[in-house]
Structure 1
């Protein structure tokens, strides 16, 4: 439902002169007026060498994303600690900033709470939100609280910035680009889904190091999100399935069910790693560098649309799998 509705909405949304990137990417990018950033807005070291600084504020674009986590879908209120719920609500939004190579600045938080125990629930959730805000230097700029007869939901809107024209999009992958993934994937339901590690700092460093043509974060599954990037870029992907970095959690989960570790890595959601389209002349240099998280080439973007794997000397069409919101 989500993708079809977004396509419908995108076709009916008005083009505005300040919207550089609108519906359909990990975040929106807006052109921002010159001089909008006040002196001292950026802490020392917030931008890596070569990025726009205070004297170049005209070269900044505003990046905005929003995401919601809800009881019964993204967490279980009866089982999960309240601070963990608050942390996840912010961390998943930080992952969207990473997918755009953006520097996060501030968040707005909206809580929807049941009438019974609302004060205690809000305080517990905010314990987690405040901890993440401190860790990433985020300002909590406002928000809202609604009390109603329904499940707990936490909605976070995050604001960030990129040097003008420097934001990664889903739509720039080219034939011949390397498919690179950060970290390892699969089995996040064993606990990592509550404590994702958004690759914000790594993304900014990678953006300064090599030419990245496109990117997306893995929120709904490696293959499903890769397929979305391919669709946005008008390319396909030839995969080296043996190169996919499988998380130990996927191996552990496979020992408990009928799926293989590779199947979990292929389709499990909420890994919140990054898929990058890297220029072929840059990939070797990229993989040699230490970004504090492993980087792995798992294939190549091709002119043939769809996801493909080479088996026994021939290409086999692969079906994307993952979590689709609104489907049970």
Structure 2
């Protein structure tokens, strides 16, 4: 196992299952009659996915947010959810109530119904979420066209900064510390924006594995060159990185768990997308453009995929 990363493991399953139609995407989809059913599953493991001092209600919410963010990038509203929870034997009744309330509150926040699920025993808290929706179309990772503008729905690097503060006691002023803690404890997936703006996007992807991973994947699937002309970060992040001797570019491109949408938009639709972002108070940033060619470049320097991958050595 130590010699295989997540993508290699997935490749083994694909080859063994002879799934020749598989295309890497944020969600899976299939047709039932005239309807397209969209499905997403994700698993949270407390030991590896939960930052210190996160409340159990926020743990429950985070397990749902992972799926919500993928639905957002595809422009699909979630309708139903099934949740399986594996609990340590010593888990108290009070803690189970906190989890249940977290799931309830998340379902109200994002507008889906929890149908049921499963419970089991495990050494660690493990939550598996399966989410379902119905749509006419999804926004794929692969549709970017030459001349499109590359947008993101907010600045990056805050989760990396937040984890540096929470795990490694890095220094931050009070206001910025509050901002980055909120980023890791109560992320805000861009569901309403994604659904409203989907018709104007040629490609889109959730950024939870890191901005570098997202850009490289979209560029590869679209068979286009992505040129980045603006790094999506705020001044406070630059100051934080400088004060703690951290690489601000690494924080922006490789932190992961931002749950922002990365998308490509034709020039003719850009004003409409800006209006939607303004109406929904989304800090949309135009970070570059799509060209003929291949690869992702920050001006003239190649951007490599250094985001999050399970089992990476």
Bin the TM-score by the shorter chain: 0.7 to 0.9
Contact 1:215/1:277 (CA < 8 Å) preserved in 2?
Answer: yes
Is 1:324 equivalent to 2:309 in the alignment? Answer: yes
Residues 28 and 282 of structure 1, relative CA distance in 2, 3 Å threshold: same
In the other structure, the counterpart of 1:162 is: 135
List gaps (5 residues or longer) in structure 2: 163-180
Question: Which range moves more in the overlay, 23-32 or 260-269?
Answer: 260-269
Contact 1:219/1:269 (CA < 8 Å) preserved in 2?
Answer: yes
In the other structure, the counterpart of 1:64 is: 39
What does 1:1-328 correspond to in 2, within 5 Å? 1-14=5-18, 22=22, 24-33=24-33, 58=34, 60-76=35-51, 79-148=53-122, 150-163=123-136, 166-189=137-160, 190=162, 191=181, 192-208=183-199, 210=200, 212-240=201-229, 243-247=230-234, 250-251=237-238, 253-255=240-242, 257-289=244-276, 290-292=278-280, 293-310=282-299, 315-327=300-312
In the other structure, the counterpart of 1:52 is: none
Q: How many residues in Structure 1 have an aligned counterpart in Structure 2?
A: 287
Paired with 1:309 and 1:226, the residues of 2 have a C-alpha distance of 11
User: Which deviations, in whole Å up to 9, do the C-alpha atoms of 1:276-316 show, x marking residues without a partner?
Assistant: 01123322442344242022211112222111122xxxx22
Paired with 2:105 and 2:224, the residues of 1 have a C-alpha distance of 40
Secondary structure of residue in 1 paired with 2:78: strand
Secondary structure of residue in 2 paired with 1:154: strand
Residues 285 and 23 of structure 1, relative CA distance in 2, 3 Å threshold: closer
Deviation of residue 138 (structure 1)? 1.2
Paired with 1:22 and 1:182, the residues of 2 have a C-alpha distance of 28
Secondary structure of residue in 1 paired with 2:185: coil
Residues 85 and 72 of structure 1, relative CA distance in 2, 3 Å threshold: same
Deviation of residue 151 (structure 1)? 1.2
Deviation of residue 201 (structure 1)? 0.8
Q: TM-score, normalised by structure 2?
A: 0.84
Provide the aligned C-alpha RMSD in A.
Answer: 2.2
List gaps (5 residues or longer) in structure 1: 34-57
Q: Which structure shows the higher strand fraction?
A: 1
Residues 255 and 222 of structure 1, relative CA distance in 2, 3 Å threshold: same
Q: Which structure shows the higher helix fraction?
A: 2
Deviation of residue 228 (structure 1)? 1.1
User: Which deviations, in whole Å up to 9, do the C-alpha atoms of 1:103-146 show, x marking residues without a partner?
Assistant: 10011111111111254433222221110101222111111111
Paired with 2:226 and 2:307, the residues of 1 have a C-alpha distance of 17
Deviation of residue 176 (structure 1)? 2.2
Contact 1:202/1:291 (CA < 8 Å) preserved in 2?
Answer: no
Deviation of residue 196 (structure 1)? 1.4
Residues 67 and 253 of structure 1, relative CA distance in 2, 3 Å threshold: farther
In the other structure, the counterpart of 2:177 is: none
